[in-house]
């Protein structure tokens, strides 16, 4: 390993290798993009539900729609900062809170695909309720479902799936959020070896102050790791030493969710409450977040669709200068872009949900891509929706200021977007780097580094142009990754500007490929009415054009940019002493000077 890497970077690389890349090499569509490949088998044909699965999903979607309209008041939930007990009970009775859980354990046994369909409805109606369900099921119950022992599931799953008890997932601390490996909560084994004693504090935990079963991440001793390794524990609030410091922390958006802060003081947790192997807590966390990010994408899609509906309503009914707003080109631009990007986030979400249902081994990059893209686009779409509503939309008798407050968290929660951009880039770059090392030791394999346009199957002549343009960009992307590695070598770890651009290019290529796959299936489907088919085809094609233009700009910025000037100016302002102009918080006072 190069001496240019710091000891911390070396340690982080070793931990990442152990956590993300141990075991047999896993293949995936997103990873293959970095090698200039379009893995057709991983993305085509676009997933289609069986008749029975579709029927079951349709019935559940209709029930949830009706329940949302009759029982969930998003304005009241936001105003009172509380999701009523009747809503939680109703969602439990409908089966939403245990949708994917085995019926033997009290669940509905439904697919991730249908779960995402339901979460799209809930997310489009009330963001707070969507986040609550996601926290309880997608990352709370899911951890128990995937890593729990039969005894653990038998003890807790039925009341959780029914909504009689609530789940929470407690990872975040004062200095551990996106940096999940920085957990400081400690878990020391008892002298008799029958339990662990937990000490620490968790904050910003959805359901953290009201949950009945909490998956708590804590650092346990490890002979090979002086600082210990992270282990997942099932903790209940009736354990002595568990103290809720704040059940409902005041916040900007998704005010209905109970975001809590709690403290653990010598909490004794028996060994039978360890979730997964000792020292495997980060694997538990990253795995369930993959599932959560998929339903995250569904919630964003639902919210974006609601915004589009409100855009259309306002554009058709509001007159200015003798015309409806919908007759103005700049308004049309906002509506068309919102529709195209929403189509892309929906296409990728359901592709990945089907990937999960298929039993695929690896989808961590795809889910990160969905989260980044969907949250970025929803933030812009929400802003454009308010803009079309103008002054009327700015007042609180309309839902748009609430929608904006709710949407803002999405760029932070379940991994901050800039961190995920670098993660998306780093995972792909790592695999290319390994191949380049092989070529370096065996020069006759240099042919592997030659990148041509990827080949996409053309199922309909209308898609030939897009097959060629996506294929060319995939080849260009792989070449750009190699050039970045040749230029920076291991120093690429510090090149966040480059990582961010590469991560965004890969994400856009994945989204465009999902849309391409979906349109390939749509255009040869003779059962869909032509008017419906045409608007969908036009919307998907617009997205692929937008994706191509956005990526071409990113390619250009890899070569021509003002990164050094940006850093210079930022560094100058970072040195500016503003300490006399504000009162430092206790946390800011603790920052090393």
Q: Which residues are catalytic?
A: 414
Specify whether the CB–CB gap between 460 and 524 falls below 8 A: yes
The CA–CA distances, whole Å, from 14 to 22, 90, 420 equal 11, 47, 19
C-beta atoms surrounding 312 within 10 Å: 15
What is the bridge-based pairing of β-strands 225-235 and 213-222? antiparallel
- Cα angle: 151, vertex 157, 161; to 5 degrees: 170
State the angle between helix axes of 7-20 and 281-317 in degrees (0 to 180), rounded to the nearest 10: 80
The span from the CA of 476 to the CA of 266, in Å, is 56
Q: How many helices (H) and strands (E) does the chain have?
A: 20, 10
Q: From the CA atom positions of the chain, what is the Rg in Å?
A: 25
Element (H, E) at 345: helix 329-357
318: helix, strand or coil: coil
Q: What is the DSSP string of 457-489?
A: --SSGGGHHHHHHHHHHHHHHHHHHHHHHHHHG
C-beta atoms surrounding 390 within 10 Å: 12
Residues in contact with 556: Cβ distance below 8 Å, sequence separation at least 6, in sequence order: none
The span from the CA of 502 to the CA of 34, in Å, is 9
231: helix, strand or coil: strand
* Helix ranges (DSSP H) in 416-529: 417-441, 464-488, 496-523
Residue with tokens 């809503």: 87
Tokens representing 154 are 């038998």
Specify whether the CB–CB gap between 171 and 287 falls below 8 A: no
The length of the chain is 593
C-beta atoms surrounding 246 within 10 Å: 14
Give the 3-state DSSP-derived string for 47-107, with helices as H, strands as E and coil as C: CCCCHHHHHHHHHHHHHHHHHHHHHCCHHHHHHHCCCCHHHHHHHHHHCHHHCCCCHHHCC
C-beta atoms surrounding 561 within 10 Å: 13
Q: Which of 277, 294, 260, 300 is nearest to 137 (CA)?
A: 294
């Amino acid at each position: 390993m190069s001496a240019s890497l710091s000891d911390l970077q070396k340690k982080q690389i070793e931990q990442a290798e152990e956590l993300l890349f141990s075991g047999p090499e896993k293949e995936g569509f997103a990873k293959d993009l970095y090698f200039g490949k379009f893995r057709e088998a991983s993305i085509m044909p676009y997933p289609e539900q069986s008749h029975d699965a579709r029927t079951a999903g349709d019935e559940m979607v209709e029930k949830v729609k009706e329940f949302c309209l009759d029982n969930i008041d998003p304005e009241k939930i936001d105003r009172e900062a509380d999701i009523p007990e009747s809503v939680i009970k109703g969602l439990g009775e409908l089966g939403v809170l245990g949708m994917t859980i085995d019926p033997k354990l009290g669940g509905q046994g439904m697919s991730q695909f249908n779960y995402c369909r339901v979460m799209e409805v809930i997310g489009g109606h009330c963001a707070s309720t969507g986040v609550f369900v996601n926290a309880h099921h997608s990352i709370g119950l899911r951890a128990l479902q995937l890593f729990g022992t039969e005894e653990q599931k038998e003890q807790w799953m039925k009341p959780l799936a029914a909504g009689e008890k609530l789940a929470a997932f407690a990872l975040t601390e004062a200095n551990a959020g996106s940096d999940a490996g920085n957990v400081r909560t400690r878990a020391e084994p008892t002298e008799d070896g029958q339990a662990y004693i937990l000490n620490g504090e968790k904050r910003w935990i959805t359901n953290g102050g009201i949950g009945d079963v909490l998956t708590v991440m804590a650092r346990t001793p490890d002979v090979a790791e002086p600082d210990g390794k992270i282990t997942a524990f099932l903790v209940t609030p009736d354990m002595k030493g568990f103290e809720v410091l704040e059940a409902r922390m005041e916040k900007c958006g998704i005010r209905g969710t109970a975001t809590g802060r709690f403290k653990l003081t010598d909490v004794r947790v028996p060994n039978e409450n360890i979730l997964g192997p000792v020292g495997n807590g980060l694997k538990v966390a990253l795995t369930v977040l993959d599932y959560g990010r998929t339903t995250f994408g569904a919630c964003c899609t639902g919210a974006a669709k609601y915004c589009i509906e409100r855009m259309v309503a306002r554009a058709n009914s509001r007159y200015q200068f003798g015309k409806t707003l919908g007759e103005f080109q700049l308004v049309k631009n906002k509506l068309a872009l919102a529709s195209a990007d929403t189509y892309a986030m929906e296409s990728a979400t359901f592709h990945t949900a089907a990937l999960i249902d298929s039993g695929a081994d690896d989808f961590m990059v795809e889910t990160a891509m969905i989260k980044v893209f969907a949250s970025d686009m929803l933030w812009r779409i929400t802003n454009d929706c308010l803009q079309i509503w103008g002054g009327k939309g700015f007042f609180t008798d309309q839902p748009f200021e609430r929608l904006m407050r709710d949407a803002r968290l999405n760029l932070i929660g379940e991994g901050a977007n800039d961190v995920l951009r670098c993660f998306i880039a780093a995972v792909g770059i790592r695999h290319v780097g390994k191949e380049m090392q092989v070529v370096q030791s065996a020069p006759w394999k240099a042919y592997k580094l030659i990148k041509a346009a990827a080949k996409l199957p053309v199922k309909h002549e209308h898609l030939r142009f897009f097959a060629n343009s996506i294929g060319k960009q995939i080849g260009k992307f792989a070449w750009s990754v190699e050039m970045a590695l040749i230029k920076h070598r291991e120093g690429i770890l510090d090149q966040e500007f480059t990582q961010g651009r590469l991560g965004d290019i890969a994400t856009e290529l994945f989204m465009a490929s999902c849309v391409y796959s979906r349109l390939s299936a749509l255009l040869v489907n003779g059962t869909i009415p032509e008017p419906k088919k045409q608007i969908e085809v036009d919307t998907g094609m617009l997205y692929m054009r937008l994706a191509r233009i956005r990526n071409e700009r990113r390619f250009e910025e890899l070569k021509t940019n003002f990164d050094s000037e940006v850093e210079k100016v930022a560094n100058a302002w970072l040195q500016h002493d503003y300490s006399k102009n504000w009162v430092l918080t206790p946390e800011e006072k603790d920052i090393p000077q």
